[in-house]
Copies of this chain bind each other. A is one copy, B any other.
Amino acid sequence: MPKKPFRVGMIGYGFMGRAHSNAYRQVGQFFPSNHQVVLKAACARNKDAIQAFADQWGYESIETDWRKLVERPDIDAVDICTPNNLHCEIALAAAANKKMILCEKPLAMNAEEGRKMVQAVEAAGVANIVWYNYRRVPAVTLAKQLVAEGRLGKIFHYRAKFLQDWTISPELPQGGNGLWRLDAAVAGSGVSGDLLAHCIDTAVWLNGRMSNVCAMTETFIKERKHQETGQVQKVTIDDACTFFGTFENGSLANFESTRYARGHKALYTLEINGENASIAWDLHDLQRLQYFDHRTESKLRGWSSIHVTDSDHPYMGKWWVPGLAVGYDTSFTHQVADFLEGIEQGNPAGPTFRDAMDTQVVLDAILTSAKSKQWVNVDKA
């Protein structure tokens, strides 16, 4: 039986454009399905750059205007890999054209934009997903299984950090190519939207919605030269953001993110403490899940380091043999695999745009809290 084509139109060609393209190319070999991914078109304003990208990754054609791309009848799904300030506009147009949408995180610049996007995809009835890829790191998916099976009991604490150190030098410019994440006008925020968004998404997935938060942000380097204009300008993103608060299930949150934690490249860590068991994971050793079970015989209790590479671990049966790690990139491959399986079964995989709103409202609350120096209730998604 011939496979059904899944024709992708990719907008953007940066780090995420590469990560997604790799996933599209790998998924069929490891997670065969009734769909065949076709890299139909890649789009960016810079024609030479996007042509080179298309050649390297095997896209059949290019566009330099995203509006054209979203209107093309030979595209089934639009992948939005642009800076954050374009997500909403493109998503609305893609939905209007009945395209499936795979949108980079965070969903939007703020909850207001996000709600428009949810409305648009739901009105259009198109499958939609946000690239919160860490849900599909096998060890994190295993954590979800353990939580879902009720192994932890009542949850008391959820703790997450995302620590980096790449913006410590005051010589680093802001804005423009490769550095738009330092420009609040384009990125919406600093570490909160870039890094905490991941932590919050995993948290609401594993532990449910948040009720209220209290946050602190800091911008250590106050002014930087703008890469494009050459002018020294005020930095308006948050370099660091810490918040605590409560989940709807009564557990306490402690979250922190910074780009000023010397020695940590991309150290996303999470820990959940339940009445009966606890779980911990970190991105630098992504193949391991730490698990402590209080029901173990007393003298043998300890944190168990599970090397999540067995064939009965999530996704791992499709890759190599026990003991052999997969890379960061497979989290994207798993997302595409689940997305294709979802549309095949008419049961779309999350996080959908609607799911992603749970994170978006927390992000808004954090920024409001940090500005007002007050506790803030999290809005309904």
Asked if A22 and B29 make an inter-chain contact with CB atoms under 8 angstroms apart, the answer reads yes
Q: In chain A between 264 and 292, which residues have their CB closer than 8 angstroms to a CB of chain B?
A: 264-267, 273-278, 283-289, 291-292
* Residue of chain B at shortest CB distance from A331: B324
For this complex, 8 residue pairs linking A to B, each with C-beta atoms less than 8 Å apart, are A156-B261, A157-B260, A216-B252, A264-B278, A265-B307, A266-B323, A283-B323, A373-B375
A263 adjacent to chain B (CB < 8 Å): yes
Contact of A292 among B263, B309, B326 (CB under 8 A): B263
Alpha-carbon gap, A112 to B165, bound state (A): 41
Asked if B242 and A254 make an inter-chain contact with CB atoms under 8 angstroms apart, the answer reads yes
A19 adjacent to chain B (CB < 8 Å): yes
Q: Write the nearest CB–CB distance from A241 to chain B, whole angstroms.
A: 10
Query: Interface on chain A toward B: helix, strand, loop, or mixed SS?
Result: mixed
* Residue of chain B at shortest CB distance from A321: B15
Contact of A28 among B56, B159, B262, B263 (CB under 8 A): B56
Q: Given known contacts A263-B301, A266-B323, what 14 new A-B pairs fall within 8 Å (CB)? A: A166-B322, A214-B373, A242-B254, A244-B244, A254-B254, A263-B294, A265-B307, A265-B322, A284-B325, A301-B304, A303-B305, A304-B305, A324-B327, A373-B375
Asked if B324 and A326 make an inter-chain contact with CB atoms under 8 angstroms apart, the answer reads no
Alpha-carbon gap, A273 to B40, bound state (A): 46
Alpha-carbon gap, A32 to B283, bound state (A): 28
Q: Write the nearest CB–CB distance from A43 to chain B, whole angstroms.
A: 18
Q: In chain A between 295 and 312, which residues have their CB closer than 8 angstroms to a CB of chain B?
A: 296, 298-307, 309-310, 312
Known A-B contacts A256-B254, A278-B263; the reply to A312 vs B298 at CB < 8 A is yes
Asked if B15 and A265 make an inter-chain contact with CB atoms under 8 angstroms apart, the answer reads no
Q: Write the nearest CB–CB distance from A19 to chain B, whole angstroms.
A: 7
**Interface residues of A, Cβ cutoff 8 Å to B:** 15, 18-19, 21-22, 25-26, 28-29, 32, 56-58, 142, 145-146, 156-157, 159, 163-166, 168, 214, 216, 218, 220, 240, 242, 244-245, 252, 254, 256, 258, 260-267, 273-278, 283-289, 291-294, 296, 298-307, 309-310, 312-313, 319-330, 373-375
Q: Write the nearest CB–CB distance from A198 to chain B, whole angstroms.
A: 13
Q: Identify which of A220, A273, A321 gathers the most chain B CB atoms within 10 Å of its CB.
A: A273
Q: Which residues of B contact A293 (CB under 8 A)?
A: 300
Q: Write the nearest CB–CB distance from A166 to chain B, whole angstroms.
A: 7
Q: Which residues of B contact A32 (CB under 8 A)?
A: 56
Alpha-carbon gap, A121 to B354, bound state (A): 61
Contact of A260 among B156, B276, B328 (CB under 8 A): B156
Q: Write the nearest CB–CB distance from A258 to chain B, whole angstroms.
A: 6
Q: Write the nearest CB–CB distance from A31 to chain B, whole angstroms.
A: 11
* Residue of chain B at shortest CB distance from A220: B156
Asked if B323 and A258 make an inter-chain contact with CB atoms under 8 angstroms apart, the answer reads no
Q: Which residues of B contact A254 (CB under 8 A)?
A: 242, 254, 256
Asked if A306 and B302 make an inter-chain contact with CB atoms under 8 angstroms apart, the answer reads yes
Asked if A305 and B302 make an inter-chain contact with CB atoms under 8 angstroms apart, the answer reads yes
Closest 6 CB pairs of A and B: A266-B323, A265-B323, A263-B292, A327-B327, A302-B306, A302-B304
* Residue of chain B at shortest CB distance from A28: B56
Contact of A330 among B56, B262, B319, B327 (CB under 8 A): B327
Q: Write the nearest CB–CB distance from A143 to chain B, whole angstroms.
A: 11
Asked if B321 and A266 make an inter-chain contact with CB atoms under 8 angstroms apart, the answer reads yes
Known A-B contacts A19-B320, A218-B252, A266-B321; the reply to A300 vs B307 at CB < 8 A is no
Q: Write the nearest CB–CB distance from A352 to chain B, whole angstroms.
A: 25
Asked if B267 and A323 make an inter-chain contact with CB atoms under 8 angstroms apart, the answer reads yes
